[in-house]
Amino acid sequence: MPVKLGTNDLSRHVIILTGATDAGFNPKRLILPARNKEKGNNLLEYIKSSNGNSNNVEIWEMDLADLQSVKNFANKFINEVGELHILINNAGIWNNKEIIKTKDNLESQFQVNHLAPFLLTLLLLDTIKKSASVELPGKIAFTSSRSQGYGKIDFDNLNLEKGAYFGPFHGYANTKLMNVIIAQELGRILQNENITTYSLHPGIILTNISNAKGVFMEFVVKIATKIIGISTEQGAINTLYPVLSPENKETGKYYHEGIEKEPNEIANDQEVVKKLWDISEKMLKDLKLDNNCDLSRHVIILTGATDGIGKDMARILAGFNPKKLILPARNKEKGNNLLEYIKSSNGHANNVEIWEMDLADIQSVKNFANKFINEIGELHILFNNAGIMINNQVIKTKDNLELQFQVNHLAPFLLTLLLLDTIKKSVSAELPGKIAFTSSGAQRKGIIDFDNLNLEKGAYLRPLQGYSNTKLMNVIVAKELSHIVQNENITTYSLHPGVIQSNIGHMNSGISNFFLGLFVKMYEITSEQGATNTLYPVLSPDNKETGKYYHEVLVK
């Protein structure tokens, strides 16, 4: 028999509901996060038309597929509202057998269904604790699924690093089991805090949760829903009933369509529970780029900022308000466009300057370095980010050097040597120096052929071999520099940011760019995530390593 909601007095409750549907109990304040402004406004209109008003209901921006968005939401909520009684983590997504990455470079089901709600809950936990009392207890709920019953926790494939599972619901089921585990563990942790926790299967409902699927799976889901599905209203009641029922004093329990049930036995394995919690916390710590990164005393040079990840690196760095950010550009128009992009994104481009430099011209590099030493005279962070990719061609610079060899290796090497004394004089234990080289995953296929460094013997037959070689040179130079400056308060890095659509291969033929484009489409991440992957190891105050190679922020 379906459960029913009684008359609930929520007039003193502040509530957050992700993946929102309804607002009929007139709470003190109901915050409904939405990643899409238009959908949020439509929801508000729906609530008004259904209830006659939407008093005390607010739509706030948040995207669970963007951890920074979650942090921004939580910070705003703590500062502007400051009290919370009920948090319902209801939003979710199902991806069938696809692997779709978020801007944080995480598998989207794992992030949206588990890691982002886990983060949101942790960020708001102190606020709930302060707001809750015996008279007005706190509630934290996670919308799980009956599929949790056949989920498992594969610690070697949490983020689908090994690829998608064969079963169409397997990855989804795993994340729904994570909801059960987190709710249960939270119940244990908060047992003396006047807060109860829940995980809930609302029933089978046709919703937009599977909007990323193929036609066949959509058909199967619709047929199954027609046979055993329930209405969205009953699903909403099934979710709310255990949370709002004044008779329900249980905590950490799993509810199947409003009725308490035993969950997957894995949820009772304390070793698994602790490991999932610890790994989730560590992932959040490792993946975050600190909002409060203080660069106010740093002078920074970033090459390759007019395109690709460099453009987003420049925007992010400028947002941290460095003492001075110098962005070399060989093209004046592109440099000015970059400055406008930074201004429009951050509201200002304070202390950001575009200087002329062309890595394909050794004299230009020397002129830039001399001007910098004479006019500025201090440097704390040097990002050698610029690069070019040429396939099966030999293109010479005005210095009669092969273009990739010069732009990717020799010119950044020269720039670093010319500025090294300036960095040494500028840094201290309190304000260390950083020198980074943007390499590539292609470095693994690189070789150092001393008889053909400059492609004197001609281009390699293997596609991208010349490019791979220069990216390996970046790794080698970063590592050797770390030995040379090991007692100078300077750390060095080489980094593969991830596969990103950029202008790096603009000089290639149409057929080369076609196949490169196909490869990028298979593995690409956003430019913003590539920028974050490049900046994080360098700017993270917790990272004391030097000379290491980072593959999408992980040491490899």
- Greater model confidence, 555 or 331: 331
Q: Can you read off the two tokens belonging to residue 5?
A: 């909601």
Query: How many of the other CB atoms lie within 10 Å of CB of 12?
Result: 12
C-alpha to C-alpha distance for 489 and 364, rounded to whole angstroms? 29
Whether the CB-CB separation of 356 and 368 falls below 8 Å is answered with yes
- Dist CA 75 CA 63 (whole Å): 14
pLDDT of residue 405: 95
172 is catalytic: yes
Alpha carbon dihedral 202, 203, 206, 212, in 10-degree steps, equals 70
pLDDT score, position 119: 96
**What does the pLDDT average to over 222-232?**
56
The model's confidence at residue 516, banded by pLDDT at 50, 70 and 90, is very low
Span 487-505, average pLDDT? 80
Cα 201 to Cα 83: distance, rounded to the nearest angstrom: 27
Q: What is the three-state SS of 511-531?
A: HHHHHHHHHHHHHCCCHHHHH
Distance from C-alpha of 437 to C-alpha of 439, rounded to nearest angstrom:
6
| Per-residue pLDDT band at 99 (split at 50, 70, 90) | confident
User: What is the rounded average pLDDT of the residues 412-437?
Assistant: 97
Euclidean distance between CA atoms 173 and 156, whole angstroms: 16
pLDDT reported for residue 215: 52
Phi, psi of 355 (to 5 degrees): -120, 150
What's the pLDDT score for residue 272? 96
- Listed in order, strand segments (DSSP E) in 416-530 are 433-438, 490-496
Q: pLDDT: is 520 or 351 the higher one?
A: 351
Which of 168-177, 221-230, 302-311, 362-371 is predicted least confidently?
A: 221-230
The percent of residues above 70 in pLDDT, for the chain, comes to: 85
pLDDT of residue 96: 67
**Pairwise CA distance, residues 309 & 63, whole Å:** 22
Q: Residue 55: which pLDDT band, with cuts at 50, 70 and 90?
A: confident
What pLDDT shows up at residue 218? 56
Secondary structure of 109-170 in HEC code, one letter for each residue: HHHHHHHHHHHHHHHHHHHHHHHCCCCCCEEEEEECCHHHHHCCCCCCCCCCCCCCCCCCCH
pLDDT of residue 299: 98
Higher confidence at residue 248 or residue 168?
248
pLDDT (tens digit per residue) in 438-448: 999 999 999 99
How far, in Å, are 172, 281, 400, 529, 533 from residue 287 at the CA level?
22, 10, 43, 11, 9
- Lowest-confidence pick of 84-98, 174-188, 248-262: 84-98
293 compared with 514, residue with greater pLDDT: 293
Supply the pTM of this predicted model. Answer: 0.56
Residue 160, pLDDT score: 81
Mean pLDDT of 349-364: 96
Instruction: Report helix, strand or coil for 198.
Output: strand
Query: What does the pLDDT read at residue 530?
Result: 85
Q: Which helix H or strand E contains 439, and what residues bound it?
A: none
- For domain 295-555, the CATH class is alpha beta
| Residue ranges of domains in the chain | 14-286, 295-555
Catalytic member of 172, 198, 241, 536:
172
Please say if the pLDDT value at position 77 is more than 70: yes
Cβ–Cβ under 8 Å, residues 254 and 197: no
- pLDDT bucket at 521, cuts 50 / 70 / 90: very low
Least confident interval from 4-8, 135-139, 237-241: 4-8
Average pLDDT, the chain: 85
- How does residue 520 score in pLDDT terms, banded at 50, 70 and 90? very low
Residue 427, token pair as written in the block: 């840094």
Most confident of 55-59, 96-100, 336-340, 342-346: 336-340
- pLDDT at residue 505 in the model: 46
Which residues are CB-contacts of 514 (< 8 A; sequence separation ≥ 6)? none
Share of the chain above pLDDT 90, in %: 51
Instruction: Find, among 538, 529, 553, the residue nearest to 441 by Cα.
Output: 553
Residue 33, sorted as left (phi over 0), alpha (psi -120 to 50) or beta, turns out to be beta
Residue 512 pLDDT greater than 80, yes or no: no
Say what the pLDDT of residue 514 is: 47
pLDDT band at 214 (very low <50, low <70, confident <90, very high): low
Arithmetic mean of pLDDT, 510-514:
48
Range from 89-103, 371-385, 403-417 carrying the lowest mean pLDDT? 89-103
Q: What is the mean pLDDT of residues 52-78?
A: 87
* Rg of the chain, C-alpha, whole Å: 27
Q: Residue 47: its pLDDT value, please?
A: 85
pLDDT tier at 523, thresholds 50, 70, 90: very low
Interior CA angle at 230 toward 224 and 236, to 5°? Answer: 130
pLDDT over threshold 90, residue 400: yes
The listed CATH number (3.80.10.10, 3.30.930.10, 3.40.50.720, 3.30.750.24) that belongs to domain 14-286: 3.40.50.720
Whether residue 379 has pLDDT greater than 80: yes
* Closest alpha carbon to 272 in 366, 383, 154, 370: 154
Which one is predicted more confidently, 420 or 283?
420
Span 527-549, pLDDT tens digits: 887 888 899 889 988 788 999 99
* Closest CA relative to residue 443, chosen from 412, 466, 461, 425: 466
